[in-house]
Structure 1
Amino acid sequence: MSSTGSSRGNPAIGDIIRSVVVIGAVIVGLYGIGQLFTAKPEATVKPIDYASVVAQARPAATFPLLAPADLPKGWRATSARFQENGWHLGVLTDSDDYVGLEQLKSTPARAIDRFAADSKSAGTADVAGQTWDVRTGPDGRLTYVRDEDGLTTLLNTSASRRVLEGYIASLSTS
């Protein structure tokens, strides 16, 4: 019997290290192969047909319901809801910025508390012949608010002022 080799019951430290390295390499290799063949789902939002919701809501609305006739290329509607006292249309721009349109039979203060809490007044803006109160939020969100005879219209976005004002100009009641 040779005295230089390890006995079968007590392996040398070199044998243990080699075994751990081989097992680690196998695990890393299997992980790498798994990554090659694993499809990563994209976080996509399913667009909706907002025009059909608008067509059903306008006859039932007791206020002039605002919506764009068409969305710009690459934009998609993600949510549309009509209730007796309110209307919501949510869209994503071609650069995935959110624009939310809210029309509510309530005061501007209540609408701001609900949809633009912690925003601060940032002056006014004239868009398409109408004056809007402009607000900015702590997270960079931009909010435009307008009150007309007890109907508050509020638009909330992560997009730029230019994009929001273009969207507001595209809104109509017909």
Structure 2
Amino acid sequence: MEAPVWKISIEQYLEQEEEALEKANIITERCLPCWRLLPHNQLVGRVITFLNNRLRGKGCEAYPSDLRLHIPINTLFTYPDVMVICGQPEFWNGRQDTVLNPSLVVEVLSPGRADYDRGTKFMFYRQMASLQQYLMVSSTEYLVESVVRQGELWQLSEHRRLDEKVTLSALGTKFRWRSFMRVFK
């Protein structure tokens, strides 16, 4: 079954955007695919490729931003840049386009949206019981911020040096920061 394509005028889009907490709640990328810049999408594609290569044989898969995430506890519907789901996806109300159980969420930070991704969006994300790690990848500098669940607390680590090891605790794997940076050249 093909996903529906909504038709919306520019005027309707702008009117709804003024009241939306997040653009993706109102306008899907299928409606107006041009709202994200090419470098952002290139970086997202590279992250998905990198993760899926690391996830082979682990029972997990990385998904792009056309799969919607719903967090029932705070009623958020959003489209993370990348989600990793381990095991079977849990679908909201049986909808194959809306999942409930990512282990890892990755957002590519863009100018103008980085504060929202680090603050409000993370506040929503951390209310998911399934989420074990939140990774924020800068699109403007060599920086990956990793936030890992440790019981009721979250531990932040920043990775800037090429000789650092980055741990993906949610996936049980580590890799050299240098190898991760090669993906972005």
- TM-score band by shorter chain is 0.3 to 0.5
TM-score, with structure 2 as normaliser: 0.31
TM-score, with structure 1 as normaliser: 0.33
